[in-house]
Each structure stands twice: as structure tokens, then as C-alpha cells.
Structure 1
């Protein structure tokens, strides 16, 4: 009656072993490390970079405890802070400005744990210390800038269609286009409706038209502006070398930036607030031979040129200093596909002035290469350098060649995100010191620990041996929860610790219900074996109902909450799931192992 099939014991044992493996990294502490990440979109994290790091450390006789590589960068664990500082200096000197080398702390867990994905949870801002910014996006200013571009587009469109106009002015969030007579106004309305699909064109009177952005176009513009700002901020934060920055949208016009481990607020504000620009220039086709490029790499650059490493493959290029267009002439950039070859492509829309210049330049330079550069803090990087196949009219440009879908999206976002799409200001700023973070960790751990000890003492005294089994099941629940959070690479914050403490208190409720039910069955005259069986079976429905209602509350908190509330909800919901497994299966397995083999059981320790 009270025996599990062997496979159930195996499942529970495997779950406990996996839980132990994935929870252990959180208890090894941290060691000094340096983090190497690309400082721009051209620099790549590949085997060549890894080999360079290893060779540099070996040449300087710096011993490392392990080198980890992933898509975001390379992390080198070091034995002490002195080695950390020395490694940072030599690696930054060897890698140059293309990579950012920052001080960091990494888990001291064994390498084999990391190889199977057993990594510690990240610590949030309130536990590790750092800076928190709440930034407000000035959508009104961004919309004004967009409408100014639309004014030029309207003028250029009507000029190309040879429709005379008396002027274009702004009235609120609309453009008012004036004409000399009704016939011209009607002709212009047809042209504008055909070409400006993102605007609603309406007649005001016989000589005036009103052009207003559609609701869908307005929403798309606001979403793209916010997306650009988030991407730009994320690219800039990479220079700080923050291991797990939080940069996320809050509402429709705000962005939250959290930088754990960063204490230099002035440096963080400088990086977040800096500006960038886009430039389109021509490649110097007279110096594309090997000797010229090799000489340029050594510093012998021809007059009027600049030397760059192009694109994602590091191809050397000599690019003319003369600027053809700037990012101000790019009104939009989006990823898509080439209609002829179905290859990933980037589609760029230029304003009227940009379209006119681009048409002339492409007409005069068919077969030559044009470079698109991102200029930031006086330094430039080549985003792409395509070949001009034919004259391009209409202000619509397509870039193709050796790109994946992800590359196309990245290039489109870079072209849009060279500078902030909308002005931003910091409306809230908080700094949390590392000592306060350590104090928060200690208080949180102590609260969970003493809560667990109090429950363990009560359960062991009140329910005796069965209560001890309940305590062991509760310990297994905490183990499963920590392991699951580590497996998901969740970021632990103070609300998360509060949710763990709450889960400890809630999880024991299931065992209390089971134990009380067993006592009732014994008082009703049932045999010990029958009481155990009935206690677990009849308490299950009540346990399930209570946990389902709690889970629904957790889902509601996650769906309608934000920030710390959602973090609390995630830990709470995961804790409910693990408590169902531990309270019912783990505790029953312990009871079955102890009493299941006794055929003549006369009493229970409960």
C-alpha cells in the first residue's frame, strides 16, 4: 500500500542530484576576473580573439584559473586582485580600442559545472550595488523632428511631380500645404495620397490640404524611436563592461537603466549621454591594391583618405574624408529581403535632400564602393561598404551581400541608432554601495535561514518523525527552487529573496495538511498504513486547490506588475511548482522508505 515503484525513487533521486549540481555554484563565492567585450559592431568574439588573449597572458606570465567564451565576450578568471589589474592593463594594450576590457567578478565554481550549464544566479542592483537611472524620452521633440523631415518630403515629392505649391507650414501635429487654385490642390492630393501612405491627406478648403500622420504610423514611429534609444543605450553601456545590465522599456516613454557593480556615476552618465553620427563616404578606388593597404596599415595613409577595418570580416579599406551624406539624411532603415534573390537586405529611406544627393553620387560612381560609417567620440567604424550597382533614385536604398537575417536587423538598427532617436533626460538617479548590497544579501539569507530553522524545530517537535520528513522535503523544495532559478539564469533581487522566504512558509502548509489528515485517520481507527495512504490521498485535492489559487495570484502579479513585482511573482510561481513536487512526492518517498516495508505496523511517530 505504501510502497513506490522503483522508477519513482529513481526520478526523485535524479531530481535531487540535478538540483544539487545546479544549486551548488551559488555557494562557491566569486573570484577576480576581467571581461573582454567588443567595443563596436565590427569587432568579433571568435577563436582568434580567444587565442590572442591566451597568448598575451602567457607572454606576461599571468596565470589564469580559466577562460570562458560566449557570444557576448570572453571572461578570464584570475587568482587575486593584483593579477586582475595587471591582466586588464596588458589585455587592453594588446587588443586596442576595438575591445573593452573591464574588471569583474566571476563565480569560483569548478569549470565542469559551467560546462554543463550550472551557473550561479545573477545578483540584482539591490544586492550587488551599482547605479539606477530612470530616463524620460522626449517624444514630442522626436515627433517635431520627424514632421520637419516630412515637410521636406512633401516639397520634394510635389517638385518631382511638377505640382506648384504656395508653401508648407506646421499647425500643431499636422502639415498644411497651400496652393494657388483648386485644380492644383486636387492634383497634389492625388500625388500625396499615392506616395505618403503613412499620412492622412484631407482637404481643408479649396486651396489647402492637411497632412497628418496616421495612428498606426505614429505608433510605429514611437515604438521605433524607443527601440532605437534602448539599443543605443545598450551599445553604450557595453563600454562600461557591466556583466548583466538591465536596460528595458517602462511604459511608452521611459527607459530604466540599471548597472550592477558600477559605482562611478559620472562615467555612467557620460557614456549614456554621449552622441554619435552617421556618415556616408566613398571608398578610394585608386588605392585598393595590397601594397597601398599594407602601407596604410603602418600609418602611411594617402592625403585625403582615412584607414579603416571594414565590415564584419575586418577587410582593410581606404576611405575618402569627403562626406557624401550624414545620418540626418536617413529618415528610416529596416531589415527585409531582396525581391530578386530573396537574400536578407537592409532598406534605407532618405529624405528629399539626401535622395537628390544620393542619386547624383550613385550616377557618377557606378561600380565603385560606398562606405557607411558610424562616428562616435571622434572614432569611426565601418558598418558596411557595398558596391554601387546602378543609379539609385527616389531615396530608397537597398544594401545586400553576405548578411544573415540577424545581421540585416543589426545593421538596420545601427543605422537608426547612430544617435538617440529622441532626446532623453535622467529624471531619477540612485546609487547603491557594494557594502549595502552585501548587507542586503546577509539579511535576506538570514531571514530565510532562521525562518527555515523555526519551521524545522516546530515540525520536528509537533509531528515527530513525520515532521522531520516534512522538514527534509522542505529543504528539498528550497534546493529545487534555487537550482531552477540558477538554471534559468534569473537575476536575484531583494523581492526575490522575500519570495523564497514566503515559499518556505507556504510550502510547509501542504505537509501540515497531510500530517493532520493522517492524525484524523488514526483517531478514526484506521491502521497506520491505511492512515498514511488516506492522509496523502485525501489531502491532495485541498493542497492542489490552495496552490492553484496562489499560482493564479502569482500570474496576475507577473502580468500586471513591473520590475521588482514581476521578479517576486516569478520566484513565487516557481516555488509553488517545486513545493508541489517536494511536499507530496519527496516526503511520501521518505515515509514509504521508513514504514512501507513493515507489514505489521502498530504505531506512527506523528
Structure 2
């Protein structure tokens, strides 16, 4: 006789109840989303009017996890950015000049005087004035500054190439170092973009590398592509550089080792600065919006121990000298150092609004982009298109569900009704799992759900057909049901395992929408097998125990 132990029945009903409870918030999506946002704002210290009321729109004792909607369902912004990897070559080679200068100064007795020449942006060209025949000796000294390139593919390679051209010693980055820098630059840009977008609190962004130097950015819920570009498009490269002079001549040659940068606040004013910064934003560990002593918006900053030591030493040695704070090649402030500044903390002032100081703090906290971005493609998807996609997907699911329900009822009668109940439970469990793991639902994901609905009854069809065959042997209804489930199990497991392997390969090898389809398909397979083997069987057993039929109509 058929028998399912009490503890097994309790486990089955518990799993079903928990799954449906996790799926429940998706039936009240807007209300739950509003409540979640209000609670997050309250936890962050928000005091806006109405937050408490919005937070109470969904009971706190109920689950509040939602299936996140992707860009094609929610609307948002899409950007394809190309990282200008060549930008880092110039900054990298320029940063070597203080080290080269200190080394050659120590050997001035042998090689004579020298000076930095104008050259290509990605090279250092040092000319020997008195003893050009010592250029080879100077080049050998500079080669001693080389370091091995990090990376397995570049093992044994040097990071710089030093050559002699007449009386000039020319220093360039090696090809191996450039390739390694390209990899690091794109990886660092991708991580910083991710941190900047996360700082703003957006939901489920898609940020992934495409090709060798491109990054795809898709953020649901953002109003426009220009709004997204404001968040990530600024490099936010902060440097603290010594001031050589101040001028109103924008065409003034800055001289070797210097650069001419405009003032952000003072129209027509330019500063000649030493190119090599004392401290950069890379040593920054924190930045917060604040107000200066006059009540104007500003940004407080704090360096790490290395940056704090360098910042403190420089301010101690240069009291009375101006010191430029440069953001993205614009001088936002050039205060005179009044005293030694220990501790590595300070304040950035300027003509900021509160919003600008907050955004600057976010950018500095997330870190500086190592190179500029060129946006090759930008697209804004309106929420109306997302609503249309949801409506079309919902219609497809309803049509597919009704067709399957009608077919099962006409084909198997009461047993088809049991399969239909299990199908509805299956869809609920699928949404419960998606909510539990915080998955993002896209249009391909909806296609996966529709496919799951169509496949969900496959296992039941196999079982019911086996029961029909066993009834022909006249072994009785109970034995026929029992043998039907036993003999159909191997076929069901084999079919679903092969499909699950396909979904797994799609998830591992694919990206973006393909992964969304693979997730819903894989989870749908698991819920389908569970409902077919356990939920449908339990319903059949409960009915059989109550009615005790002498014959079966399958």
C-alpha cells in the first residue's frame, strides 16, 4: 500500500509554505519596494517627512525580499564605455621623474649637468649638457631603476626600456609593462565604477568587461544615461601639487617638469604646478561632505599612514608657500600653508553646492578612475517600455499556464487537477527561490519561466502514463500508483539532469541576459522535480486514503 510518513508530509508542506511565503511580496511589488526603500532611508539616518508611514506599508514580520527587475523590465540607463588605457602611460612615466632626477644628481660629478627635454607624452628625455659622451653611462644608471613586470605572461621582463639618442637618455615603458598596465587599468576602472554606482544605492547593476578595453554598464532605475554618466564619467583624480607661480596667461610655457592648469573658481587664472604630485587620491581613505568655518559646503578628507606622512612632511617644510589641490586637471583651491598639518586630514573648499560636495565626496571615496572613459554607446530605456515588457511577459505566462492547465485536465481528469495544483505551487516556489537569492529578472528570465511552465508537467505526464500501463496488469489502484512513480523516476531524473547541465553551462559560459535565462531555467527544473515527486504524489495519496477507490480513471 502507498504510505508517506508523517514527518515527510510535514517537511513537504513546510517547504511549500515557506516557498509561497517568500514569493508573497512579489504580489505587492510597489508597496513592498516603497516600504523597503523607506526602511533603508531610516536606517541611514533619513528624517524626511512620511518615511515612517511608507516604512509601515508592509508588515515587518513578513518576508520583504523581491525579485529584482532588470533593465529591460524596469527601465534605466545603458552605457558602453571604452577605457582610455593610453592615458596611464603618461602619468606612469611622469611619476618616474623625481626618482630619475635624484639618481642622476648623485652622479653629477661623473655625467655633468643635465636637463629634462620636451618629448612625447609617454617618454622621459634627459639631455646631458656638458658630457654627451656619458649618455651611455647615464642610461646604465637609469636601467638600475627598472623593476620586473608583474604577471605570469610577462615573467622576466623589465618595466622600462632605456635607450640613448645622441646626448639624450630616453626612458619609455616596455611593451610587457604596457600590456600589464592595460589589464590592471581596465580591472581597476571596472571595480571603481562598481563602487561608485553602489555608493549611490542603485539596485542590481550589470557591470562587466567586454573585450580588452570596454566596460558594459546597465543600471535599472536610473532616470537617464546622462545621469549615470555624471556618477561614473568623472575620473575624480585628486592630487596635491606644489605651486611654481600664478598667471593670467593661458599660453605661458610651463617649462620642463611643470604643467599649466586653469583655476576652477577664478575665471582667467592659471597656475604653473610641478607635475610630480606630493600626494594623490590613491592615498585617500575617507572623504565626507562637510562645511567650512564660514558655513560653505566643503569636503573633509583623510589620508592613509603613507599619505599622511608625506603630506605632513611637505607642509612642515613649506610653511608660507601655496599648495594646489587639483581635481581632474583643474585647480579647485590653492591655499597657503600656514603651519605643519600632521595627522593626514584636511578640508577641500571651493564654490560647491551641497549636492556637488556630496557627489565629490562619493567620487573620492570610491577612488579615482585610472584613465578616462569614452562612451561609445548610451541608451535610456524608459519605464514605460519596461511596463510593456512586464505586461507582455505576464500575458505569455498566463496563456502558457492556462493552456497547460486545460490540457492536463482534459487528458488526465482528476489526476490532471492534482498536476495543475502542483504546477501553481511550482511557479510560487520558483518566485520564492528567486526572491531568496535576490536574482534579477529580465525578459530572457521570463522566457525561462514560460519554458518552466511548459516543462513542469513533463514529469507528471510520465508518471500518469506509467500508472495507466500498470492498471492494465490488474494489480489494483494502490499498486499501480506506487509502481507508476517508481518506474517513471529514472526517466524523469535523466531528462531533468541533462536539461540542468545545459542550464549550468549557459550560466558559466554566458553573461547578462543569458545568465538570467539559465538561472530561472535551473531553478525551475529543481522546483518542477520537487512538485512532481513530492507535492503531486502527496495530493494523490491524500485523495486515495480518503476515497479508497476500487478503480482509477487516469
Please give the TM-score of this superposition, normalised by the length of structure 1: 0.65
Unaligned runs of 5+ in 2: 129-133, 151-155, 243-270, 286-302, 319-338
CA distance, structure 1, for counterparts of residue 3 and residue 307 of structure 2: 71
CA distance, structure 2, for counterparts of residue 376 and residue 481 of structure 1: 53
RMSD (CA atoms): 4.4
CA distance, structure 2, for counterparts of residue 22 and residue 502 of structure 1: 22
Aligned partner of 1:26 in structure 2 is: 26
Asked if 1 retains the 8 angstrom alpha-carbon contact of 2:93 and 2:124, the reply is: no
Residues 399-423 of structure 1, C-alpha deviations (whole Å, 9 max, x = no match):
xxxxxxxxxxx99x946724x3222
Shift of 1:228: 2.8
CA distance, structure 1, for counterparts of residue 471 and residue 386 of structure 2: 50
Shift of 1:359: 4.4
- Candidates 155, 159, 164, aligned match of 1:200: 159
Change (3 A) 1:277 1:484: same
CA distance, structure 1, for counterparts of residue 126 and residue 272 of structure 2: 33
Asked if 1 retains the 8 angstrom alpha-carbon contact of 2:36 and 2:64, the reply is: no
Asked if 2 retains the 8 angstrom alpha-carbon contact of 1:499 and 1:568, the reply is: yes
Change (3 A) 1:335 1:507: farther
1:104-253 alignment, distance < 5 Å: 109-113=58-62, 117-140=63-86, 142-159=87-104, 161-162=106-107, 164=111, 180-193=134-147, 199-201=158-160, 211-212=173-174, 214=177, 216-232=180-196, 234-235=198-199, 238=200, 242-253=202-213
- Candidates 363, 368, 375, aligned match of 2:342: 368
Shift of 1:2: 1.3
Residues 215-256 of structure 1, C-alpha deviations (whole Å, 9 max, x = no match):
545533432233234434554xx2xx7555444444442333
CA distance, structure 2, for counterparts of residue 12 and residue 531 of structure 1: 23
Shift of 1:66: 3.9
- Candidates 456, 460, 467, aligned match of 2:416: 467
Change (3 A) 1:263 1:327: farther
Asked if 1 retains the 8 angstrom alpha-carbon contact of 2:239 and 2:278, the reply is: no
Rg (Cα) greater in structure: 2
CA distance, structure 2, for counterparts of residue 276 and residue 123 of structure 1: 31
CA distance, structure 1, for counterparts of residue 157 and residue 42 of structure 2: 42
Shift of 1:506: 1.4
Asked if 2 retains the 8 angstrom alpha-carbon contact of 1:3 and 1:592, the reply is: yes
Query: 198-207 or 178-187, which moves further after superposition?
Result: 198-207
Asked if 2 retains the 8 angstrom alpha-carbon contact of 1:126 and 1:494, the reply is: yes
Asked if 2 retains the 8 angstrom alpha-carbon contact of 1:135 and 1:424, the reply is: yes
Shift of 1:445: 1.0
Change (3 A) 1:48 1:494: closer
CA distance, structure 2, for counterparts of residue 476 and residue 455 of structure 1: 14
1:555-574 alignment, distance < 5 Å: 555-574=504-523
Change (3 A) 1:160 1:382: farther
Asked if 2 retains the 8 angstrom alpha-carbon contact of 1:19 and 1:480, the reply is: yes
CA distance, structure 2, for counterparts of residue 541 and residue 48 of structure 1: 53
Shift of 1:447: 0.9
CA distance, structure 2, for counterparts of residue 416 and residue 153 of structure 1: 28
Asked if 1 retains the 8 angstrom alpha-carbon contact of 2:282 and 2:367, the reply is: no
Change (3 A) 1:175 1:36: farther
Aligned partner of 2:11 in structure 1 is: 11
Instruction: Check if 1:442 corresponds to 2:442.
Output: no
Change (3 A) 1:460 1:195: closer
CA distance, structure 2, for counterparts of residue 426 and residue 377 of structure 1: 28
Question: How many residue pairs get matched?
Answer: 466
CA distance, structure 2, for counterparts of residue 27 and residue 14 of structure 1: 20
Shift of 1:479: 0.8
Residues 555-584 of structure 1, C-alpha deviations (whole Å, 9 max, x = no match):
111112111111111111111111111111
Aligned partner of 2:214 in structure 1 is: 254
CA distance, structure 1, for counterparts of residue 392 and residue 441 of structure 2: 14
Shift of 1:486: 1.2
Aligned partner of 1:390 in structure 2 is: none
1:23-422 alignment, distance < 5 Å: 23-31=23-31, 49-50=45-46, 53=47, 57=49, 64-67=52-55, 109-113=58-62, 117-140=63-86, 142-159=87-104, 161-162=106-107, 164=111, 180-193=134-147, 199-201=158-160, 211-212=173-174, 214=177, 216-232=180-196, 234-235=198-199, 238=200, 242-274=202-234, 276-278=236-238, 330=279, 333=282, 346=304, 359-363=313-317, 368-372=342-346, 378=352, 414=364, 417-418=367-368, 420-422=369-371
Instruction: Check if 1:590 corresponds to 2:536.
Output: no
Aligned partner of 1:552 in structure 2 is: 501
